[in-house]
Amino acid sequence: MKELIFSSFGFKYGLPPDANYVFDVRFIPNPFYVAELSSLTGMDERVRKYIGSFEESDSFLAASILFLDIVIPRYLEAEREALHVAVGCTGGRHRSVAFAEWLCKHYGSTSTGTGVSFAVGLRHRDVDKAQEA
């Protein structure tokens, strides 16, 4: 079965070498600089609520979905076994994690409408790395 993989990563640790597409969410305000959110991750509802409170978050997520709705079926209809979409922020703990989670949730419950079946996977490469400013 073909696989659609969403992952989060921190740019300061380098790009995932197997990513087909890389989205950069460093333009979204960083929860790292909010004292009560800094130690949490993008898997925490309070962090997701903070990130989602910015208009640019909604706009970027919607635009990403429009783009991926075009790319996913065509990519997976080709002779490819997997499509890896990586989402990066500075450290890979907050913004990228939240966006990867949102995208995975969206595509985990939708169909491309093309008859191409695929499994949806989620990876958080850098979420457990030590925090630094």
Residue 13 counted as domain residue: yes
Q: Range of 43's domain?
A: 2-124
Could you say which residues of the chain have pLDDT below 70? Answer: 109-116, 130-133
Q: What is the pLDDT of residue 112?
A: 52
Q: What is the 3-state secondary structure (H, E, C) of 66-78?
A: HHHHHHHHHHHHC
Q: Please give the pLDDT value at position 118.
A: 84
In a domain, 130, yes or no: no
Has residue 69 been placed in a domain? yes
Query: Domain for residue 132, yes or no?
Result: no
For the chain, the domain total comes to 1
Q: Is residue 20 part of a domain?
A: yes
Cβ neighbours around 107 below 10 Å, total = 19
In a domain, 131, yes or no: no
Q: Which of 77, 101, 75, 97 is nearest to 88 (CA)?
A: 97
In a domain, 103, yes or no: yes
25 lies in some domain: yes
H helices present in the chain, as ranges: 45-52, 55-77, 95-108
Distance between start and end Cα atoms, the chain: 41
